[in-house]
Amino acid sequence: MIITLQADVTDGQVGEIRALLRDGGWGAAEVRTQSGKYLVGISGKEIDIRHVGRMPGVRDVHRVSDVYKLVSRQWKVKPTVIDLGDGVKIGDGNHTLMAGPCSIEDEQQVRSTVEFLSRLGIRVMRGGVFKPRSSPYSFRGLGLEGLKMFSAIAREREIKVITEVLDASQIESMYDYVDMYQVGARNSQNFTLLDQLGKVDKPVLLKRGISGTLEELLQSAEYIFSNGNERILLCERGIRSFEKSYRNVLDLNAVPYLKEKSHLPVIVDPSHGIGVRRFVSAMTLAGIGAGADGSLIEIHERPEEAKSDAAQTLSYDEAEELTRSIERLESALR
């Protein structure tokens, strides 16, 4: 059950609602986000919610049978639109293509990418500066200085910056230089990180775990939301399977499922998802067919020389051809 409280609800009123819930065997979590106050009721007895709805301080009340609550479509039917400013919106009915290199390498690379994105009208650029790497001996990214450089150049052209945060301790120092935080697959259940991202007023793109269930993904989103941040994007990025013909299995089944279960926008990452450059464009189009709100792809001026994940990175020409296919597809589907 989700009880939306009035903006001017008093502590006394909240106390009375809590007491009523307690009598019904309900747990209650009080949630204050950047745009609302809620009481989330957990697993109690059958109750006449109209009675709750009439209590002072209550604006609205909904039953939510899903284990996740505030991210559920049972509560909020209208899709959430993420507004990044300067006219950049995700989840508004158009498909948003976000692109950039796997790793930020140097200023020349960032300028070249920004130039290319500007020409194509792509408004969100990805690029890693803190890289999670299986081996401790691998390149781990340019770090905060790289992010500052990336951000400065991208903002000259009103391009929004999304980059991965690896640890709660990095959130604050990154804050001025990102427009959207990305949580990678390995951190999909790093609850300390999720808790802290709930306290920030910038959107969070949350990737599904490497073998994470969709229920776990939605519950991880609930961590962020219940800590105060309503602006979350869900991202399918490929799961592990027995099949060795590609790096991962991009699970597009997740797209219609998540769109039905949640009001949050759903993004697809075909680059990591299938992990094979030659197939990235086909899987991006497939994602649009499935109903995704956006895609996140890796591009590089010279993919063969990319500092990481060269095997899945598109060239500028390939990316440009893909944007044309996306446009045709989008106009057909609307």
Binder among 83, 215, 304, 305 for a second copy (CB under 8 A) = 215
Both tokens of 65, joined, read: 């049978």
Closer Cβ to a second copy, 10 or 192, answer by number = 192
Specify the length of the chain in residues: 334
By CB under 8 A, the residues from 276 to 295 that bind a second copy are 276, 278-279, 282-283, 285-291
Cα–Cα distance, 258 to 44 (Å, whole number): 26
Closer Cβ to a second copy, 88 or 212, answer by number = 212
Taking Cα atoms as reference points, which of 39, 29, 43 lies closest to residue 75?
39
Q: Contact region for a second copy (CB under 8 A) — 8-16, 76-84, 128-136, 147-155?
A: 128-136
Closer Cβ to a second copy, 70 or 205, answer by number = 70
Sign of dihedral through CA atoms 18, 21, 26, 32? negative
Q: How far is the CB of 283 from a second copy (least distance, A)?
A: 7
Binder among 112, 227, 315, 323 for a second copy (CB under 8 A) = 227
How many Cβ atoms are within 10 Å of 59's Cβ, its own excluded? 14
Binder among 11, 85, 135, 317 for a second copy (CB under 8 A) = 135
Q: Is 7 in the site for a second copy (CB under 8 A)?
A: no
Closer Cβ to a second copy, 113 or 281, answer by number = 281
Binder among 22, 51, 199, 328 for a second copy (CB under 8 A) = 328
Q: How far is the CB of 143 from a second copy (least distance, A)?
A: 13
Q: How far is the CB of 147 from a second copy (least distance, A)?
A: 16
By CB under 8 A, the residues from 51 to 110 that bind a second copy are 67-69
Half-sphere exposure in the Cβ direction for 14 (13 Å, CA): 17
Binder among 1, 82, 122, 252 for a second copy (CB under 8 A) = 252
DSSP sequence for 226-241 = HTT---EEEEE--B--
Q: Is 186 in the site for a second copy (CB under 8 A)?
A: yes
Binder among 80, 103, 187, 313 for a second copy (CB under 8 A) = 187
Q: Please check whether residue 269 is in contact with residue 235, taking contact to mean a CB–CB distance below 8 angstroms.
A: yes
Both tokens of 70, joined, read: 């505030």
Closer Cβ to a second copy, 113 or 190, answer by number = 190
Q: How far is the CB of 152 from a second copy (least distance, A)?
A: 26
Cα–Cα distance, 58 to 4 (Å, whole number): 6
Taking Cα atoms as reference points, which of 116, 121, 76, 118 lies closest to residue 96?
121
Cα–Cα distance, 168 to 196 (Å, whole number): 6
Both tokens of 15, joined, read: 């106390």
Q: Contact region for a second copy (CB under 8 A) — 50-58, 75-83, 181-189, 199-207?
A: 181-189
Taking Cα atoms as reference points, which of 185, 210, 183, 208 lies closest to residue 196?
183
